[in-house]
Structure 1
Amino acid sequence: MGCAVSRKKKPQVILSKAKTLVILPGTFVKINDNDFVEVYNIGKKLGSGAYAEVRFCTHRQNKANRAVKIIAKQLLESESAKNQFIKEIEILKLLDHPNIIRVFEFFEDENNFYIVMEHCKGGELFDEIIKHKNFNEYQAAHIIRQVFSCIAYLHSIRVVHRDIKPENLLLEEKDDLFNIKLIDFGIATIIEEDDVQGMIGTPSYIAPEVINERYNEKCDVWSAGVLMYILLCGFPPFQGSTKNEVYEMIKNCSYILDGYGWENISSDAKDLIKKILVPQSSRISAEKALKHKWIVSMLKKDKRDQATMKTVLKNLEEFNAQNKLQEAAKLFIITQLMSTKEIKEARDIFKELDENGDGKLSRQELIKGYRKFASQKDAEDMVDRIMAAVDTDHNGFIDYNEFLKAAVDVKKISSEEYLQTAFNLFDKDANGKISIDELKSVLQSAGEDEVLFQEIIKQVDINGDGEIDLEEFTTILKNVRVSDR
């Protein structure tokens, strides 16, 4: 039977040097030189911590609702605190996962640092736990799979969060347990060759090896296990009248899985907890937790509408980045301008295709998706073409924003408002044209070969003046080939 998804010729490589330029989502997450209050209206307080508070804010120009983490400089007096803040920014710029908070930009003034993030309307998972006391296994499995997906992804890029807890998990919308976002990378770190040292984290959720101040990334898995325990029975596994009593119970891995709260919990759920709340040397990884039969069996019946799947896969197949400017502008619009609602359809399909939950799509996962509408050979051929066109960082996977860049409907991306805003980003001197220097500045590529950017400009420059005007920019973003004009 023939393939229901259209087949296209393999995209031609138009540029010789420019194709080597890798544009990552973090490229557009930058310090904004304006005053924060000139760009945003500050609203109500959403939360607070030792070094910062989080407030609701609205972008004055495009009216987008966001959240801002405000860090008081006077509280970062020590050198280690300042270094940790710098590390937080570096880590946030690296992240590319559907269940990790999206960051837009940073500000700095005399008194504060500001980190502008997406606003999640549903509030903290902690509040849902207080409200519900405990969750059924289907709900708990959905929540914990999202958490393990974040952790597995972070560990694959050697990032350890170190503060997994319900207060750091937000619901995207009210009562929506199926779209949760991990936040607060304030004490996250990047693991080098050695283990991490120093006791840090929230007492009830820290692993025994953290108490002993020498640990690795599996401390996050332990914290997720504590969260899973609470979701299922409604109370924490380690309790005591003092912090030291709690620490002793944690170090001894002393908890119960029977009696009150556990009467109706499945043996599979208990088995996963037993594989997590154990000493570090015996603890499973987040990657293996995602493959555990409890999570797999609870989620196997969840499938999206096949018509939506087909539409998104067709968009993915037809993606053809003719030019690095086109690719960069699309990525900017998706990561910085589009609302969660606008990317939700493609985001949900990405999560369904990501069977092992690691936050990226392998060749085999994509083939399995296309096999719903095509023969094995057609699916393999299509996926090979897609990998060549979409995997722009050449890591052998389709990362989350690589997928969105290709799968979101081009009509949504190419609205006049988005095109004008994206053009203004590149046109730094506001003279109505994008120069080579402006292109290099936006893409943070000052050291790159000049010839590379000349090629990018030339591919789009219809009138041959060596710069790009709005009409030329719009043409390339609307997927109209210059040669077709």
Structure 2
Amino acid sequence: MGCCASLRSKKIASPENRMDSLHIDAGTFVLTNDKRFQEVYMLRTVVSTSQYYEVRAAIHRETNEDRLVKIFRKDITPKIAYEKLKIEIAITKTIDHPNVIKFFEIFEEPSKVYISMEQCKGGELFEEILKRKNFSEQQVAKIMKEIFSALAYMHEQGIVHRDLKPENILLEDKDDLINIKIINFSTATILKKDAFLSGVIGTAYYIAPEVITSNYNEKCDIWSAGVVMFMLLSFYPPFDGNSDKEILEKVQRGTINYKNPIWTSISNQAKDLISKLLCPLDQRLSATEVLTHPFIVENALIPDSDQQNLVSAFQNLRGFRNSNKLRDAVQTFIATQCISAHDSKALKEVFKTIDTNGDGKLSKEELLSHYKKVMGDDHAEEEVSQIMKEVDTDNNGYINYTEFLKASISQKTLVSSQNLRRAFDLFDSDKSGSISAAELKKVLQGGNNTDDHVWKQIIKAFDQNSDGEIDLREFEEIITRSL
């Protein structure tokens, strides 16, 4: 750090000037941990196994939080499967939606790769289908609303799953059907607007006909979701057979098997929606359109969150201030990596309540409508405009899930001494007791094209004792200032 820095250069080095261009999101902090996996987690029971990996329950040693861990053995994983793993990590990191599985961190050791992710104690939706005798139409509608909410968000981002099926949908809790998580993005891809894909990918029962015969787009996921809905209502697949070849031939013919007597008791609304999902590509609804279908709108009503939770969330949103990007980065890390499942559960329900159209993000109109109900009309427009200004840190015109979490949770909880210490330790990778420009860059660089000089200037802006690094006291001052 130059000892002759002028007052003018100090002004230029302010966090507002130097960090505004940095892009910070939930995926920024899904990093490869340099520690050994067993130092951080205790492995528990095997949840499921596949050809190249197993999924096990685990406990985070420091926080005692439950996790799922996907474990790949390098010696039996072929190159193509390893490449799919890289794709799965890259795509899942970009998705910020309450109904898509969240990754926490990656461990790469000489013989294995570990992916730590959210725990879902309810197991696979497929297992729930097998053990239940029936689902009510209200239950089906609520499950499908969550699936289509995630698909609407993903498709807007250009993400196509390509293997949506009940085995790739987890229930967050036992006996709770309204909180699902879509998993397994190993066959997912990014699709540019108005472009098409080719190549048969997926599982026979759920593959859309155009995937078999021609080019296809994101609506292949809509077909797959339609098959899931059909099975939830009837407990058998719409296209069955003794082999994949026989199943795919029936898929191409498109003749749905409605012969089971159960269909006499299923509503016309449900049948109408299925007919608009399991149909030719050019007639098929988009995920956003499905969310406005009467079957979803009338049957998947989400009860308002506890009034006190709504009031508390809006009070915290109203008091949130986005003072600088370093503080924003730390708060994002804490909201996505440190807050317990218990603390975030109530806020997730508040988010869903406010997200009236179910697209996985909050518009100003949605915020204003619920703000008036909860907080009253006085100054509502002004207050909500201020909330949007402060909380929408990526300036896309909406409040996404992580932006909502970090702004609506109690600041006292968010910046507790334990959470601040974990955040500091993330940056202080060499455990020297202070954060250097190189360490700051290592965590925050990501896709940001920022030269080394800028990182040094950021350090200088917050370095109160002018030693060229940020110690824990300086770090805490940066984050807690103005709270």
Residue matched to 1:3: none
Tell me: CA distance 1:55–1:279, structure 2 relative to 1, closer, same or farther (3 Å).
Answer: same
Give, in angstroms, the shift of residue 480 of structure 1. Answer: 3.5
Residue matched to 2:121: 121
Q: For residues 59 and 308 of structure 2, what CA distance do their matches in structure 1 show? A: 35
Residue matched to 1:384: 385
Q: For residues 301 and 323 of structure 1, what CA distance do their matches in structure 2 show? A: 36
2:262 counterpart SS class? coil
Kindly provide the CA deviation profile for residues 286-305 of structure 1, in whole angstroms up to 9, marking residues without a partner as x: 11111111101113362222
Kindly provide the CA deviation profile for residues 383-440 of structure 1, in whole angstroms up to 9, marking residues without a partner as x: 2222221112122211110111111111221222211111111122222222333222
Give, in angstroms, the shift of residue 463 of structure 1. Answer: 4.4
Equivalent runs, 1:18-167 vs 2, <5 Å: 18-78=19-79, 80-167=80-167
Q: For residues 454 and 109 of structure 1, what CA distance do their matches in structure 2 show? A: 32
Give, in angstroms, the shift of residue 100 of structure 1. Answer: 0.7
Contact 2:164 2:224 in 1 (8 A): yes
Q: For residues 174 and 106 of structure 1, what CA distance do their matches in structure 2 show? A: 27
Letter in 2 for 1:119: Q
Q: For residues 23 and 188 of structure 1, what CA distance do their matches in structure 2 show? A: 23
Letter in 1 for 2:148: F
Letter in 1 for 2:109: D
Q: For residues 207 and 287 of structure 2, what CA distance do their matches in structure 1 show? A: 16
Contact 1:101 1:117 in 2 (8 A): yes
Letter in 2 for 1:59: H
Q: For residues 218 and 73 of structure 1, what CA distance do their matches in structure 2 show? A: 34
Q: For residues 302 and 207 of structure 2, what CA distance do their matches in structure 1 show? A: 33
Contact 2:93 2:102 in 1 (8 A): no
**Of 471, 474, 477, which residue of structure 1 is paired with 2:473?**
471
Q: For residues 221 and 339 of structure 2, what CA distance do their matches in structure 1 show? A: 31
Tell me: CA distance 1:357–1:260, structure 2 relative to 1, closer, same or farther (3 Å).
Answer: same
Q: For residues 39 and 304 of structure 1, what CA distance do their matches in structure 2 show? A: 35
Residue matched to 2:179: 179
Residue matched to 1:9: none
Letter in 2 for 1:331: T
Superposition misfits of 4+ residues, deviation over 6 angstroms = none
Give, in angstroms, the shift of residue 16 of structure 1. Answer: 2.8
Kindly provide the CA deviation profile for residues 257-290 of structure 1, in whole angstroms up to 9, marking residues without a partner as x: 4651122211111110010000111111111111
Contact 1:162 1:219 in 2 (8 A): yes
Give, in angstroms, the shift of residue 461 of structure 1. Answer: 4.1
Contact 1:22 1:392 in 2 (8 A): no
Tell me: CA distance 1:450–1:108, structure 2 relative to 1, closer, same or farther (3 Å).
Answer: closer
Equivalent runs, 1:83-482 vs 2, <5 Å: 83-192=83-192, 194-212=195-213, 214-257=215-258, 259-300=260-301, 302-373=303-374, 378-444=379-445, 447-449=449-451, 452-453=454-455, 456-457=458-459, 460-480=462-482
Q: For residues 165 and 365 of structure 1, what CA distance do their matches in structure 2 show? A: 31
Give, in angstroms, the shift of residue 338 of structure 1. Answer: 1.6
Tell me: CA distance 1:278–1:134, structure 2 relative to 1, closer, same or farther (3 Å).
Answer: same
Q: For residues 52 and 188 of structure 2, what CA distance do their matches in structure 1 show? A: 14
2:116 counterpart SS class? strand
Q: For residues 362 and 259 of structure 2, what CA distance do their matches in structure 1 show? A: 39
Equivalent runs, 1:4-15 vs 2, <5 Å: 15=16
Contact 1:199 1:213 in 2 (8 A): no
Letter in 1 for 2:16: L
Shifted more, 247-256 versus 342-351: the winner is 247-256
Contact 2:406 2:414 in 1 (8 A): no
TM-score by length of 2: 0.91
1:58 counterpart SS class? strand
Kindly provide the CA deviation profile for residues 111-167 of structure 1, in whole angstroms up to 9, marking residues without a partner as x: 322211111111111111112132001111111110111111111111111111111
Contact 1:361 1:399 in 2 (8 A): yes
Q: For residues 51 and 220 of structure 2, what CA distance do their matches in structure 1 show? A: 22
Tell me: CA distance 1:177–1:480, structure 2 relative to 1, closer, same or farther (3 Å).
Answer: same
1:197 counterpart SS class? coil
Kindly provide the CA deviation profile for residues 307-357 of structure 1, in whole angstroms up to 9, marking residues without a partner as x: 221210111111102222221111111111222111112111111111121
Aligned residues: 468
TM-score by length of 1: 0.91
Q: For residues 443 and 281 of structure 1, what CA distance do their matches in structure 2 show? A: 43
Letter in 1 for 2:218: E
Shifted more, 54-63 versus 373-382: the winner is 373-382
Contact 2:122 2:170 in 1 (8 A): yes
Letter in 2 for 1:214: N
Q: For residues 242 and 82 of structure 1, what CA distance do their matches in structure 2 show? A: 28
Q: For residues 439 and 109 of structure 2, what CA distance do their matches in structure 1 show? A: 25
Letter in 2 for 1:169: I
